[in-house]
Chains A and B, each alone.
Chain A
Amino acid sequence: MTSYDDAEQIIFPAGAATQTSAAEAAKGEWDAVIVGGGMAGSIVAEQLSQAGYKVLILEAGPGKDLDLAEYESYLSRFYGAVVKDNQSPYPFNPNARMPRSTDTMPVHPDTPRDDFYLVQEDKYCTDTTFTRVLGGTSMHWEGKALRMLPEDFDLQTKYGQGLNWPLSYDDLEPYYRQAEAELGVAAEVEDQTYLGMHFPKGYVFPMHRMPPSYLDQTVARGVDGMRVNLADDDYTLQVRSFPQARNGVPNAAYDGGKGFVPVGAVSTSQAEEGERCQGNTNCVPICPVQAKYHAGKTLAKALRKGNVKIVTQAVASKVEINDLDRRVTGITIKNYHSLDSDSYETYTVKGTVYILCAHAIENARIMLASDMQRMSRSKLIGCNLMDHAYLLSWGLLPKPAGTMRGTTCTSGITDLRGGRFRVTQAGFGVDIHNDGWGWATGSPYTDLVELVDKRGLRGPELRRTLGDQISRQLLLAFMIDLLPDRSNTVTVDDRYKDAIGNLKPVVSLKIPPYTMRGAAFARKLATDIFEKLGAEDKTHYDEKSYSAVEYDGQWYNILGGNHLAGTHIMGTDPTNSVVDHTQQSWDHDNLYLVGPGSLPSIGTSNISLTMAALAFRSSIHIARYLRAAKAPVTVGS
C-alpha cells in the first residue's frame, strides 16, 4: 500500500557506543578493527556486519548514544556559539583536537600548545578543517553529493595534468549508485547528465531535487545563456541544481518503482524527525532536524546485528607492525577518561584486518607517527595532500532576492568543471550561496554590528535595513581544482605533540599557479556575472591574511574547502602509490586505508560521495580478504 510498509525503523541501540570498554576490546580478537567512526568507517562497518564479521570501531572523539539528546546538545552549543564555524557545535577536546578555522596561523615550536592543532609553519596557511567526533566530518559537511566527471579519472592522459586513477568512472558507477542510496541523494538525472556523466538507463536518484531557491532563479536570469571563451573553446553557462544528501520528496520511480524511504533523525527511540529538509539555512555545520545525511545513520544500521562494537575516546596512536612480514599486529590506542583531563590508558587491539578510516590527515599522521614511511616503497605517505581551493566573490543585488532562504546551497554553475582548458588551468564549480555573505564577511552578525555601531540605526529602521541588506546578498564560491603535488604534505615532528602526547599533523600546502590561473579566471567571471545581474561588487581581498596568495600581480584569499584528500593515493603499483584500487596497502597485506586519502585527484566534486562509493567497493574486497584469511586450512597428506 505504501512505501513505509516494509521500511525498517532505524533505532540506535541505547548505550551501543559505551557498552564495550577499551580494556574489553583489547582482550577480544576482532575480524576487523576500524579506526574512525565517520562516513567511511561506518560504511565499511555496516557492510562487514552484513557479511557476518566481528567489527570494532575505534573513535578518537567523544560520542555516546547518537541519540537525539546528544545531537541536540551539539545543536544548542551551535546556537549559543558566538563564532559559528564548522566545529562550533562540538566541545573543545584537547585529547583529540580538531583544526578550527579560527586557529589558522603560522606556528613555531614555541607557540602555546593549546592555540592550534594543525601545525603550519609556512606563510600561507589553510583554514581547512575536519571533525573528530563520532560521525566524523559528516557532522559538519554541507551534503553536496556530486559525482566526479569521467574525465577526472584520466586527467594525465587527457590533459597532461595530475594523475590517472587506476579506476574509471564506469568502474565506480555502480558504487556511486550504492552511495547515493546510502546517503540519500536528492537530484534529477536530467540535471546531472553533463560533461560525460552518465547513468544506467532508467536510473533515477532516490529523491527529487531540492527546489531551486529564489536566489538561484534570480541568478539564472542573468547567467543562463552567458558565453565564455576559454582556451579557444566556447562554453555556454547555466545555473544547475546540485545533487545533495538531504531528504527531499522521494522519487516514486526509484529502484524500479519501489520508491525510497528517506532516513530521518536517528535516536535510541522512535524520533520521526528530519524525513524532509525544512529549508533551515544552517546546513553547515549542523542540520537542526537531521534531514542532512550524517554517518550516524549508517552507524545505527551497522549496530543492529550486534557484531559491531564501538569504543569512543580512543585515539589511535600507533600501528603495530611485525618487521619480518610487515603485517599489522595491532593498533595501540590512548583511551582518555574525559575531555577535561589528560589521563588515559594505553591498550593494543588486535584483529585479522585493519582499516584506517580516519580521514586524509589523520590516516597519514597515524602512519607517519608509527614510522611506516620507512617500509613504504613509494615513500608517498602524507604526500599529495589536496583540498579544493575556494575563492569567494560577493556582491549586493539591486533587489531583495530571498537570501537566507533554503538550504545552504541549492544550485550553481558547473559548465567549467571540465574541458580542454584543463591543459593549462584548473577547472572549477561555482556555488550560489543561499546563506549570504556569511563565509566571506561574517554576515549577518557583522551587518548588525555595522548598522548599529557605525550607522546608529535602531527599531523599525534597523529591522528594515537589515532585512533589505541581507536579502540582497549574493555570494559566489568558486571551488577550484587543486592537483596532486608531491610537495604538498602532511608530516609529523617530535616538537609538536597534543595533550596526551600524540604527534600533531604538520601541514604544508601551497597553491600552485595552475590553480591560481583558474582563480584569476574565476574572479573575472564573477565580475561579469555581477555586471549582468546589476549587482554591486563588494569583494575585497586582504593581502595581510594568512590565506593571501599573490598571482600575476594581484592578491587573492584562497580558503580551505574541508575536502582533504590524497595523503595515501591509489595507483597501479607500489612505487607510484600507497594503496591499490581496492584501497589495500601495497606494503602491508592486512591493512586497508579507506577514505579520501586514497583519491589520486579530486577534480571539482566534493569528495564525500566518491569516498563513500570507494568505501562500498573496498568493503567487498575486505570481506573477500577476511573470507580467505579465516578459511580453514586444509593440510595435505
Chain B
Amino acid sequence: MIQTIEELREYLYKGLQLEHATLPPYLTALYSLHPGKNSDARHVIRVVAVEEMLHLTLVANVLNAVGGTPNLTKRGFVPNYPTRLPAGPDDFEVHLRPFSPEALATFLRIEKPAQAASEEDRFVPMDWATLGLTSNGSAPSPDELAELEESGTVLGLVPGDPTQRFSSIGEFYEEIIRGINHLEDQARKVGKTIFTGNPAHQVTPEYFYSGGGDVIKVTGRDTAVAALTLVAEQGEGLHGAIFDNQDEIAHYYRFQQLEMGKYYQKGDEPGDPSGPDLHVDWSAVYPVKPDIKLKHLEGDPEILAAAKEFNQSYAAFLTDINLAYNGQPDLLLKAVWEMFRIRDSMNRLIRNPLTGQSGENAGPTFELWPSKEETP
C-alpha cells in the first residue's frame, strides 16, 4: 500500500519498468515478420508498440509531476527475458520470440482485462516453488529478493514487499491512483500538494504523438488520473469495452483481431468482430531463437558483434529517452531516427541464421548490462 510520496515514486518507477518490458517482445515479434508479408499483423503489433511508448511517456509525466526522477538507465530496468507478468491468481512467462500463435497468446494475456474482485484481492502472495526459485516454497533470501525486485525478471511485485505481487497490471495502476488520491488528500489538509515537480520536465504533444492518443501534460490530480487511466484503458479497454474513450481499439482487442481473422468496427460486441477480413501467414516469419542470449552466439563472432552493437544502440536510445524525460523533451524528435537504427540492427540479427542451430535465426538479446560470465 502506498503511504508515502517515496513509495508512490517507487511504484511509478516500477510502472516505467513494466511499460517498457513489453516493448522488446513486441518489437522482436514485429521485426520477425517477413518484409512485404503479414501486413495486418505488422500494423496491429506496431500500433500496440507505439502506444506502449506513449504509456511509458505518460507514466514518466506522472512521475515527474510528483517530483520524481525517471531513470530508464538503472541496471535491471530492462528485464532478463523471459520475464514474468501477473495474471490474476497465476502469472506467466513473457519470452522474446518470433511471431507465432504462442507469441500472440502471450500478447493477449499481457493485455487481458483482469479486475480484482475487491481491494483486498489486489495482492497475491508469491508462489516461489512454482517459479522454481526455492524448492520448498519459502521466500528467497533478502539479498536474492532485493535483486529480484530490482531486475524486472518478475514484474508486478509489490514495491517494498516483494513477497507479494499485484493480481494484474490494471490493479497495479488502481493502487497508484488510490495512492495519489490518498497522498494528495493528506497534503491538501495542510495546504500543500504532492504535485511539486518541474513543469518543464513534462513531455507535451509537440514532442510525442501516437495515432492512439495524445500525451497528457500532468500538472495535478485530474491530469495524473487521466494519464494513468489512459494507460490502463488502452491496454485492456474501458471496463472491458472494445473502444477506449478516445475511440481507439484497446490492445487486447487489436490482438484478438489477429486470432479471429477479422477487424473490429464501431458497434461490435467483444468476441464478435464484423469488420473487414484480415489474414495471418504464420509461416512468413523468421525463426528467431527464443530468448536468445549473447552466450548462444559464441560460434558466430560476426553475429555476436552485431548483437553487442544492437545492445549498445538500445542502451544509447534509452539514455536519450531518459534525458528527454528529464528536461530535454526535444530529444524525442531525435529518437525517431534512432528507432530506425534500432529497427535496422534488429533486422540484421533476425535475418541471419545461426551456425549449427538447425534452422534458427539470431535475434536481439536486450542484455544491456551483461555480467562477465554472460559475455562471450
Residues of A within 8 A of B (CB): 1-5, 9, 11, 14, 65, 67-69, 72, 76, 79, 249-250, 252, 264, 268-273, 275-276, 278-279
Q: Is B209 in contact with A273, judged by CB distance below 8 angstroms?
A: no
A-B contact pairs, 14 of them (CB 8 A): A2-B205, A2-B246, A3-B205, A3-B214, A14-B276, A68-B43, A69-B40, A269-B264, A269-B265, A270-B248, A270-B249, A271-B43, A273-B43, A273-B46
Number of A-B contacts (CB under 8 A): 67
Q: Which residues of B contact A272 (CB under 8 A)?
A: 43, 47, 50, 210-212
Closest CB-CB distance, A236 to chain B, in whole Å? 31
B373 CB-CB contact with A under 8 Å: no
- Complexed CA–CA distance, A68 and B40 (Å): 9
Q: Is A249 in contact with B211, judged by CB distance below 8 angstroms?
A: no
- Complexed CA–CA distance, A1 and B209 (Å): 15
Q: Which residues of A contact B39 (CB under 8 A)?
A: 68-69, 72
Question: Which of the residues A68, A79, A269 comes within 8 Å of B275, measured between beta carbons?
Answer: A269
B213 CB-CB contact with A under 8 Å: yes
Question: Which A residue sits closest to B339, measured CB to CB?
Answer: A278
Q: Which residues of B contact A11 (CB under 8 A)?
A: 265
CB contact list, B279-338 vs A, under 8 A: 336-337
B36 CB-CB contact with A under 8 Å: yes
Closest CB-CB distance, A67 to chain B, in whole Å? 7
- Complexed CA–CA distance, A388 and B248 (Å): 44
- Complexed CA–CA distance, A326 and B265 (Å): 48
Residues of B within 8 A of A (CB): 36, 39-40, 43, 46-47, 50, 205-206, 209-214, 216, 226, 246-249, 257, 263-265, 275-276, 278, 336-337, 340
Q: Which residues of A contact B275 (CB under 8 A)?
A: 14, 268-269
Given the known interface contacts A69-B39, A269-B276, the answer about A2 and B214 at a Cβ–Cβ threshold of 8 Å is yes
Q: Which residues of B contact A269 (CB under 8 A)?
A: 257, 263-265, 275-276, 278
Closest CB-CB distance, A205 to chain B, in whole Å? 15
**B50, B206, B211, B247 interface centre (most CB from chain A within 10 Å):** B211
- Complexed CA–CA distance, A269 and B211 (Å): 13
Q: Is A252 in contact with B206, judged by CB distance below 8 angstroms?
A: yes
Given the known interface contacts A9-B247, A269-B275, the answer about A76 and B36 at a Cβ–Cβ threshold of 8 Å is yes
- Complexed CA–CA distance, A3 and B39 (Å): 29
Closest CB-CB distance, A346 to chain B, in whole Å? 32
Closest CB-CB distance, B211 to chain A, in whole Å? 3
Closest CB-CB distance, A354 to chain B, in whole Å? 33
Q: Is A4 in contact with B263, judged by CB distance below 8 angstroms?
A: no
Q: Which residues of A contact B337 (CB under 8 A)?
A: 279
Given the known interface contacts A5-B246, A249-B206, A268-B263, the answer about A275 and B211 at a Cβ–Cβ threshold of 8 Å is yes
Q: Which residues of B contact A271 (CB under 8 A)?
A: 43, 211
Closest CB-CB distance, B317 to chain A, in whole Å? 16
Supply 6 further A-B pairs (C-beta < 8 A) apart from A2-B214, A269-B265, A269-B275.
A2-B216, A4-B246, A9-B247, A11-B265, A14-B275, A268-B275
5 smallest CB-CB distances across A and B, nearest first, come from: A272-B211, A2-B214, A269-B263, A14-B276, A268-B276
Closest CB-CB distance, B122 to chain A, in whole Å? 28
- Complexed CA–CA distance, A76 and B214 (Å): 31
Closest CB-CB distance, A16 to chain B, in whole Å? 11
If over half of A's interface residues share one DSSP class (helix, strand or loop), that class is named, otherwise mixed; here it is loop
- Complexed CA–CA distance, A269 and B41 (Å): 13
Given the known interface contacts A1-B216, A2-B205, the answer about A273 and B336 at a Cβ–Cβ threshold of 8 Å is no
Q: Is A4 in contact with B276, judged by CB distance below 8 angstroms?
A: no
- Complexed CA–CA distance, A268 and B277 (Å): 10
Closest CB-CB distance, A266 to chain B, in whole Å? 12
Q: Is A4 in contact with B46, judged by CB distance below 8 angstroms?
A: no
Q: Which residues of B contact A14 (CB under 8 A)?
A: 275-276
Q: Is A279 in contact with B336, judged by CB distance below 8 angstroms?
A: yes
Closest CB-CB distance, A88 to chain B, in whole Å? 16
Question: Which A residue sits closest to B47, measured CB to CB?
Answer: A272
Q: Which residues of A contact B210 (CB under 8 A)?
A: 272, 275
Q: Which residues of A contact B248 (CB under 8 A)?
A: 270
Q: Is A278 in contact with B214, judged by CB distance below 8 angstroms?
A: no
Question: Which B residue sits closest to A3, measured CB to CB?
Answer: B214
- Complexed CA–CA distance, A9 and B247 (Å): 8
Question: Which of the residues A68, A76, A270, A275 comes within 8 Å of B209, measured between beta carbons?
Answer: A275
- Complexed CA–CA distance, A69 and B39 (Å): 7
Q: Which residues of B contact A249 (CB under 8 A)?
A: 206
Q: Which residues of B contact A65 (CB under 8 A)?
A: 276
Q: Is A264 in contact with B211, judged by CB distance below 8 angstroms?
A: yes
Q: Which residues of B contact A69 (CB under 8 A)?
A: 39-40
Q: Which residues of A contact B47 (CB under 8 A)?
A: 270, 272-273
Question: Which A residue sits closest to B336, measured CB to CB?
Answer: A278
Q: Which residues of A contact B226 (CB under 8 A)?
A: 1
Q: Which residues of A contact B257 (CB under 8 A)?
A: 269
**A1, A68, A268, A272 interface centre (most CB from chain B within 10 Å):** A272
Closest CB-CB distance, A336 to chain B, in whole Å? 26
Question: Which A residue sits closest to B206, measured CB to CB?
Answer: A249
Q: Is B214 in contact with A4, judged by CB distance below 8 angstroms?
A: yes
Closest CB-CB distance, A278 to chain B, in whole Å? 6
- Complexed CA–CA distance, A107 and B170 (Å): 70
Q: Which residues of A contact B206 (CB under 8 A)?
A: 249-250, 252
Closest CB-CB distance, B136 to chain A, in whole Å? 49
Closest CB-CB distance, B45 to chain A, in whole Å? 12
- Complexed CA–CA distance, A279 and B206 (Å): 17
Q: Is B276 in contact with A273, judged by CB distance below 8 angstroms?
A: no
- Complexed CA–CA distance, A9 and B212 (Å): 11
- Complexed CA–CA distance, A37 and B40 (Å): 26
- Complexed CA–CA distance, A49 and B360 (Å): 55
- Complexed CA–CA distance, A275 and B209 (Å): 8
Closest CB-CB distance, A460 to chain B, in whole Å? 14
- Complexed CA–CA distance, A501 and B248 (Å): 49
Closest CB-CB distance, B311 to chain A, in whole Å? 23
Closest CB-CB distance, A63 to chain B, in whole Å? 16
Q: Which residues of B contact A67 (CB under 8 A)?
A: 276
Question: Which A residue sits closest to B36, measured CB to CB?
Answer: A76
- Complexed CA–CA distance, A72 and B264 (Å): 21
- Complexed CA–CA distance, A246 and B206 (Å): 16
Q: Which residues of A contact B213 (CB under 8 A)?
A: 2, 4
- Complexed CA–CA distance, A268 and B213 (Å): 19
Closest CB-CB distance, A251 to chain B, in whole Å? 9
**B46, B209, B212 interface centre (most CB from chain A within 10 Å):** B209
- Complexed CA–CA distance, A69 and B276 (Å): 12
Q: Which residues of B contact A275 (CB under 8 A)?
A: 209-211
- Complexed CA–CA distance, A256 and B36 (Å): 43
Q: Which residues of A contact B211 (CB under 8 A)?
A: 264, 270-273, 275
Question: Which B residue sits closest to A249, measured CB to CB?
Answer: B206
Closest CB-CB distance, B216 to chain A, in whole Å? 7
Closest CB-CB distance, B214 to chain A, in whole Å? 4
Closest CB-CB distance, B204 to chain A, in whole Å? 9
Q: Which residues of A contact B43 (CB under 8 A)?
A: 68, 271-273
Q: Which residues of B contact A1 (CB under 8 A)?
A: 216, 226
Q: Which residues of A contact B205 (CB under 8 A)?
A: 2-3, 250
Question: Which A residue sits closest to B213, measured CB to CB?
Answer: A4
- Complexed CA–CA distance, A460 and B128 (Å): 52
- Complexed CA–CA distance, A272 and B216 (Å): 19
Q: Which residues of B contact A252 (CB under 8 A)?
A: 206
- Complexed CA–CA distance, A278 and B39 (Å): 19
Q: Which residues of B contact A278 (CB under 8 A)?
A: 336, 340
Closest CB-CB distance, A605 to chain B, in whole Å? 29
Question: Which B residue sits closest to A76, measured CB to CB?
Answer: B36
Closest CB-CB distance, A215 to chain B, in whole Å? 15
Q: Which residues of A contact B46 (CB under 8 A)?
A: 273
Question: Which B residue sits closest to A4, measured CB to CB?
Answer: B214
Question: Which A residue sits closest to B50, measured CB to CB?
Answer: A272
Closest CB-CB distance, B152 to chain A, in whole Å? 28
Closest CB-CB distance, B86 to chain A, in whole Å? 28
Closest CB-CB distance, B277 to chain A, in whole Å? 9
- Complexed CA–CA distance, A65 and B276 (Å): 11
Q: Which residues of B contact A250 (CB under 8 A)?
A: 205-206
- Complexed CA–CA distance, A318 and B337 (Å): 51
Question: Which A residue sits closest to B254, measured CB to CB?
Answer: A270
